[in-house]
Amino acid sequence: MTAAIKSKTAHQLTIEVTIPFAQSMLASEGHIQQALNDAGRLATGELLKRFDTDGSVIQLGRTKLTSKGQVEKPYQTPYGETRIARHVYQSPQGGATFCPLERDARIIQGATPQLAKQVSHKYSKLSVDEVKTDLHSNHGRALSRGYIQKVAETVGALAQAKEEDWHYCTPALAAPVTTVSIGLDGTPVFLREQGYRIAMVGTLALYDQAGERLHTTYIGAAPEYGKARFLARMSQEIAHIKQLYPDALYIGLADGAADNWSFLNQHTAIQLTDFWHATEYLAQAAEAIFPRQRDHPRKQQWLADRCHQLKHLKGAAGQILNELTDQLANALSTNHREKLHKAVSYFTHQQPRMGYDALVKQALPIGSGVTEAACKTIVKQRLCQSGMKWHEKGASIILSLRTLERSNRWEQFWGKISQYGTAS
């Protein structure tokens, strides 16, 4: 032991730390970390005792509970394991026991709140083996894979359980919000026994008058049969934002899937097909119109001109649609006709939502890049690493943790745990 309690009062603790020096700087720093971890374990053990009862009878709902005496138990902390004796209660009829200390100190699966916060944050970004290595190498903490998963999954399940009850504040913004763009998209995730299924991501992006994005709220949902729960959560977040910014302009941005519009039509004043998806269809059309290698410069010029027209000229979508339709007769091969048919079909169905010029003039968003990026950063980067297969529950928990952090709600979430506890 390199740390020892020297004195303690009701309000503070004094610990003496002894640090042996080694011949190398790295080894000496290891001794410092060990000594500070020893001090942390001592301090946390003393702190936990403050949340215990004096053994008196307590009332839990309508049931009176009596102490079975103090029973020693280990608790995991950021600094190491600490063992303390605490009162455990039970009703006169027997049954399940209850530990007031664990409720009041916000213990999660035997972990103190700070350790649970650290583990779940790391697990939201790293595989369980990477979390284990990181804790051991960088924090001097040796925890098993199973325990890391158990703690992180409990935190994620709590986040899910409180989605409807706990409301989070939008951070202070640098400018007034004049526009809110709402987007939703899906991306495939490999599930055990089901194969590839679509995970959903939604975004609510807040913009100022100059078109600068001020903040984004993210919603993620693991693959489910149907989108009902995901869309209900989206609707709840939209209602919350509309209470905060009732005078903002609400724009729905998506990639063109019909079921996206049936949802966005309910919540937004303007619906817009993502500009970049439209340009991808134009690029395919350009390949079909100018298939020869010697036509490459003309192809590039045509594509640049049509993209510019679509973005800046009123009625450009209809004119481009007519041009694409006319070009069908000139297609040189079946493959080229198929590319043109796809572009014609896309522009035919999306033309009413391609009024980009008016929004560009007002510095309003015309692309769903925020949502596209969210599919990558929230879903793909964590759930689609090489060889990964997920149960739906595990994938759902990861998405809950990652969207909390990406939406700048992580600290608020832990503040609510500290305030309200972990009871579901």
Residue pLDDT, tens place only, 339-351: 999 999 999 999 9
Query: How do residues 127-137 score in pLDDT, each as one tens digit?
Result: 999 999 999 99
Confidence of residue 333 (pLDDT cuts 50, 70, 90): confident
C-beta separation of 202 from 184 below 8 A: yes
Give the residue among 105, 71, 60, 365 at the shortest CA–CA distance from 216. 365
Question: Measured between alpha carbons, how far is 163 from 326 in angstroms, rounded to an integer?
Answer: 52
Pick the more confident residue, 19 or 335.
19
* Average per-residue pLDDT for the chain: 93
Confidence of residue 1 (pLDDT cuts 50, 70, 90): low
What pLDDT is attached to residue 258?
84
List the structure tokens of 172.
């202070």
Query: How do residues 68-87 score in pLDDT, each as one tens digit?
Result: 999 999 999 999 999 999 99
Query: How do residues 385-396 score in pLDDT, each as one tens digit?
Result: 888 889 888 999
Q: Give the least confident one: 146-150, 175-179, 331-335.
A: 331-335
Spell out the domain ranges in the chain: 3-163, 179-274+367-417, 276-353
How does DSSP classify residue 362? T
Sign for the CA dihedral angle at 379, 385, 387, 388 comes to negative
Return the residue matching tokens 């993620």.
Answer: 220
Angle at alpha carbon of residue 225, lines to 221 and 226, rounded to 5°: 75
How does DSSP classify residue 261? H
> Which amino acid is located at 413 in the chain?
F
Mean pLDDT of 246-266: 92
Residue 226 has pLDDT above 70, yes or no: no
Under 8 Å CB-to-CB from 161, ≥6 apart: which residues?
424
Q: What are the contacts of 59-68 at 24+ separation with CB within 8 A?
A: 60/89, 60/98, 63/91, 64/91, 64/92, 65/89, 65/90, 65/91, 65/98, 66/90, 66/91, 66/92, 68/97
Sign for the CA dihedral angle at 117, 122, 125, 131 comes to negative
